[in-house]
A and B are shown apart, each in its own frame.
Chain A
Amino acid sequence: MIADLTQIVLTLALLVVLAMPLGLYMAKVYTGEITYLSFAERALLGPAGVTPKAEQHWTTYTLSLLAFTAAGFAVLFLILRFQHLLPLNPQGFDGLPAHLAFNTAISFVTNTNWQSYGGETTMSLLSQMVGLTTQNFVSAASGMAVAAAVARGLASRQARTLGNFWRDLVRSILYVLLPLAIVLALALVLLGVPQTLDASVSANTLEGAEQTIALGPVASQIAIKQLGTNGGGFFNVNSAHPFENPTAISNLFTLISILLIPVAFCFTYGRMVGDARQGRALFAAMGVMLVVAVAGLYAAERIGNPLHAGLIDPASGNMEGKEVRFGIVGSVLWAAFTTAASNGSVNAMHDSLTPLGGLVAMLQMQLGEVVFGGVGVGLTGMLLFVILTVFLAGLMVGRTPEYLGKKIEAREVKLAALTLMIMPIGVLVLAALAIAAGTAQTSVQDAGPHGLSELLYAYSSATGNNGSAFAGFNAATPWHDTFLGIAMLFARFGYIVPILAIAGSLAAKKTTPPSAGTFPTYGPLFVTLLVATIVIVGALTFLPVLALGPIAEQVSILAGKSF
């Protein structure tokens, strides 16, 4: 218990200590105060025809992002579909079927990294590197660009532009993602993560059997899939695989990498809008929710499964689907971090979490991935809730709501309120559709309420752009590949386009200095209101269906019933 608590506290402390300076550094990257890699910037932006001073209106900024994503999708789809015709395919894997290539390409360009496939049994080395690793960088950098643009918009006065997407994209990679990934990848190699172009090695075991051990350029992919809140593993079981995550220290490094940039963005934001308190308020709101999630998951997994009482030493907790080297606490921290951030990598099988542990993981995604969330887009998702919160607070006191001195008017509130429909449509409507069509019933692995949980988790993960799974669910069918793909696409741009529109409209507004009647958007009162808004919206939307899934399952196992 003390050893567990120590690990939790040290992990969280180390995360914040590293994220704060990174956040301030990132602010300087996006404001152009740091230029030591300007030669590389020019080398990339020059051939692309982007001039150093080019600025974009929010519509052009958005169109650039959409065009870049579309191009990335097309290239990735073709690589996956035709990997059998391309080099670096030592195992001779076939091209992916169309629905799987479609799903996977969308999954990686939207920074979701939902995997309907097992990496080591499906993907050629070329697909893993040129296809997937590239998108791990650029989809993350696109999300970071959005956050930079939104922060710039809120900080500017009567401005027509939000910056330049191409410059933000390139800077995110050159100054942030690539250096961090190189350091992390090399650290992981030292800790035991393979990095080789050999696809496998054959061993003759002590009992004389042949064991074929899958290998590959693992470390380079793991580093960026963690840092970019991507989450798509090299191997089927992701970071539970001893080659992706061999020791408790590699676990610590990769665990912190999940939340490092999302946490840093709170401080980047405070710096960019010129008021560190605004960033700290967002950090506090997200931090409170994360700590509650860690505590909930820890309690659920530590107590374990009442159905197995008498069979399993009660001190062990729920170890099904977990690895000995991480134990309960290392697995629980990961499950909380990966569903808070829209990372989606796993170091334990979420399908085998206790019902309440699984509920916490699912709910964090259903809240809209705003508990730090994906790199960049977690922050902007939270800003949508900030707008709703100041609007609600404005209603209570009867004043026009303001945020950072900008009047929040009907257009902004409508756009923000519209995004509240994304999670219910992606999760509830699409899951209901799958049930009505009968495709849910054939894909679930477990009977009873857990089957519903598997379905809900899949659609929550896709719509939250998370990518983790209750992996017993067979998503590799034409129906689910297609609809999960649609959910990922709809959610990614359903949030990004409105927040860029809001940023564009707020950028154009005058900034009025705070008066006695201004409702401060920092401090404990605001943080409480913000958290309450998020929790109430999430709970109202999802409590009924959660009662039918994980809650019903918890009640069943307490009553000694299995399925």
Chain B
Amino acid sequence: MLAILRPAIVLLVLLTALTGLAYPFAITGLAGMIAPNQAAGSLVVRDGEVVGSSLIGQSFTSERYFHGRPSATAAADPTDATKTVEAPYNASASTGSNLGPSSGALKDAIAARAAALGLEPAPADLVTASGSGLDPHISPAGALAQVERVASARGLDEAEVRALVERSIEPRELFFGEPRVNVLALNLALDEMKP
């Protein structure tokens, strides 16, 4: 029995030291050297202040900004810790809606979002919740559909905003992924164009 227990315990300890401590700490050290910006979360700094991460979506509700996708994230209810309240783009508690395809709640939510946009049919990304609740992107169609609203809210020329959106479209990477627009980057560019 000892012939089995000794290696079980000794190897568990040694392999924990190797894979659970040395490995993550070595990667942390190396990451900080080769790519400090990415390792720290790809933070976006404007005027010396962290305004977000280029990889993480944030909530936009103002007419003056392009909006991201619906987000199903929630946060603890400040008045009752056992309950949660809607908190879109809560980047400390990622989640999708997890609503099934036959869900009536899902159908109603999609219908309400499409109606609010005044688009039927709407680009799917604007009316469906993302998997993470933190999707930083929308589709090119989803961005173009918002040009008119944003231009008029900012008193900008529609063609100018449309041109900005078109410049912001990121193509497929090699053959992979989908064309997309990073909402935070687009809105930052918009602020730069006319604060």
Contact = CB atoms under 8 A, between A and B. Distances in A.
A171 B178 CA distance: 40
Interface stretch (A214-222, A378-386, A430-438, A459-467): A214-222
B31 interface: yes
B30 interface: yes
Contacts of B80: none
A351 B52 contact: no
B14 interface: yes
A182 interface: yes
Given A325-B180, A448-B102, A553-B102, A138 B15 contact: yes
A203 B132 contact: no
B118 interface: no
A192 B98 contact: no
B165 interface: no
Interface in A425-477: 445-450, 453-454, 470-472
A217 B94 contact: no
Given A201-B41, A209-B59, A556-B102, A237 B125 contact: no
A82 interface: no
B129 interface: yes
A330 B179 CA distance: 12
A324 B178 contact: yes
Contacts of A70: 8
Given A64-B8, A138-B19, A312-B124, A247 B173 contact: yes
Given A138-B19, A211-B52, A212-B92, A563 B97 contact: no
A490 interface: no
B9 A71 contact: yes
A49 B136 CA distance: 52
A190 B38 contact: yes
Interface string A130-163: 1101101110000000000000000000000000
B99 interface: yes
Contacts of A562: 102-104, 106-107
A189 interface: yes
A319 B113 CA distance: 14
Contact of A320 (B14, B95, B106): B106
A312 B91 contact: no
B78 interface: no
Given A203-B50, A235-B94, A134 B177 contact: no
Given A321-B98, A325-B177, A349-B97, A213 B27 contact: no
Interface in A285-344: 304-305, 307-308, 310-314, 316-327, 330-331
A306 B7 CA distance: 58
Contacts of A1: none
Interface string B9-24: 1111011101111011
Given A242-B136, A247-B177, A48 B94 contact: no
B177 A196 contact: no
Contacts of B21: 129-130
Contacts of A373: none
Contacts of A314: 121
A60 interface: yes
Interface string A537-563: 000000000000000010011000111
Contacts of A48: 6-7, 10-11, 14
A72 to B, nearest CB: 6
Contact of A251 (B38, B56, B177): B177
B82 interface: no
B51 A206 contact: yes
Interface of A: 3, 6-7, 10, 44-45, 47-50, 60, 63-64, 67-68, 70-72, 75, 118, 120-121, 129-131, 133-134, 136-138, 166, 169-170, 173, 178, 181-182, 185-186, 189-198, 200-207, 209, 211-215, 217, 219-221, 224, 235-237, 240-243, 246-249, 251-252, 304-305, 307-308, 310-314, 316-327, 330-331, 346-349, 351-355, 358, 445-450, 453-454, 470-472, 553, 556-557, 561-563
12 contacts: A64-B4, A166-B11, A201-B53, A207-B59, A312-B123, A319-B128, A320-B106, A321-B96, A347-B131, A351-B98, A454-B100, A563-B102
Report, nearest first, the 8 A-B pairs whose CB atoms are least far apart: A248-B177, A316-B124, A240-B131, A134-B20, A327-B178, A450-B100, A472-B98, A349-B96
